[in-house]
Amino acid sequence: MADDVDARAAQVSAFGHDLLAGLSKTPRSIAPKYFYDAAGSALFDRICALPEYYPTRTELGILERHGREMADQMGSRVDVVEFGAGSLAKIRLLLDAFSERDALGRYFPVDISAQHLEGAARRLRTDYAWLHVQPVVADYMRHEQLRVLEQMPGRKVGFFPGSTIGNFDADEAMMFLQLAARLLAGGGLLVGVDLVKDPLTLHRAYNDSQGVTAAFNLNVLRRANEELGADFDLKAFSHYAFYDPLERRIEMHLVSSRKQTVHLAGSAFRFEEGESLHTENSHKFTIDGFRALAASAGFKPGPVWTDEAKLFSVHWLESPACHGDAA
């Protein structure tokens, strides 16, 4: 319990530091990882069930149809590390795909939201009593927070569903893949990747009719008010999401509806009407483009599974037992 409290305190401090830095920049931005406190994680679970939001149900369908093939690639007696584990819904399909209960070693779900992670892990232990589940409260982009996993003996494979890789910019994606290749050396990574498609489909996915995505976006401001003592007026900011075809990405913003001043940690930040806080990118990939990116990070690209409409893909990437960092 003490470790969880320390981890939450450290994360609040990191949130405050990063939000101050992001508000001081032009244009203003904040990393999307700060969406995921307990309330934000619950809202994202609701997003995943929306009719407009195709990625979750499409990826689940791929995992259901091809889970046995994926399990064969992962091999037996492996420890599974899930990055950004969330509600732990998708790992269940992989667990069910393994033919024997003893085919898996340990399962390490890694997530930034301690409260949400522990609750999901508790439910998973109940349903899979034979599985050793050890939650890791960490930012998986911070190598030092994953050292406990890197030092553990045995073959490790990673699971990174949901196309979270698309939330990174090019440098961050390369950094994560290089980190994962080192951590999983001798094993591999199973990763979900959203594909380039009709912009209208993308627009609907990030602008749902129920307004859940808007609430999810605004939740980062509510969190700043509650945890950091900021004074964002949530009614004075609006959710705005659009697809940039040249960058091949969805951009999410919170747009100020009027001139206003926001206070945080003794600093004042003036927003003009129409000025935004950039909260998330969601890059879309081609299959060949992502395989090339993975190869440049040190992975050996393997099989790729997609749905019939080619909306989404799941890639198996083998990580050689010994390799240096990619240039």
Tell me what pLDDT residue 154 has.
84
**What is the rounded (10 degree) CA torsion for 89, 308, 51, 57?**
0
Q: Are 86 and 160 in contact (CB under 8 A)?
A: no
Residue 192: which pLDDT band, with cuts at 50, 70 and 90?
very high
Count CB atoms within 10 A of the CB of residue 308: 7
pLDDT greater than 50 at residue 8 = no
Q: Are 259 and 273 in contact (CB under 8 A)?
A: yes
Cβ contacts of 72 within 8 Å, gap of 6 or more: none
- Tell me the CA distances in angstroms from 120 to 89, 109, 146, one per residue in order: 9, 10, 20
pLDDT in tens, 153-171: 889 999 999 999 999 999 9
Is the pTM of the predicted complex or chain greater than 0.75?
yes
Tell me what pLDDT residue 210 has.
97
pLDDT in tens, 239-249: 999 999 999 99
Count CB atoms within 10 A of the CB of residue 3: 9
Tell me what pLDDT residue 100 has.
64
Structure tokens that stand for 231 in this block: 């004074």
pLDDT in tens, 23-72: 999 999 999 999 988 899 899 989 999 999 999 999 999 999 999 999 99
Instruction: Look at the alpha carbons of 201, 116, 86, 103 in this order and tell me if their dihedral is positive or negative.
Output: negative
Q: Are 4 and 176 in contact (CB under 8 A)?
A: no
- Residues of the chain with pLDDT > 90, as a percent, come to 74
Residue 7: which pLDDT band, with cuts at 50, 70 and 90?
very low
- Residues of the chain with pLDDT > 70, as a percent, come to 93
pLDDT greater than 90 at residue 276 = yes
Single out the residue of 249, 260, 172, 250 nearest to residue 221, CA to CA: 260
pLDDT in tens, 107-141: 999 988 788 788 889 999 999 988 899 999 888 88
Q: Residue 200, CB half-sphere, CA atoms under 13 Å: how many? A: 0
For domain 1-227+285-327, give the CATH number.
3.40.50.150
Cβ contacts of 83 within 8 Å, gap of 6 or more: 110, 140, 158, 159, 160, 164, 180
pLDDT in tens, 262-274: 999 999 999 999 9
Q: What are the sequence ranges of the domains in the chain?
A: 1-227+285-327
Of 33-47, 71-85, 251-265, which has the strongest mean pLDDT? Answer: 251-265
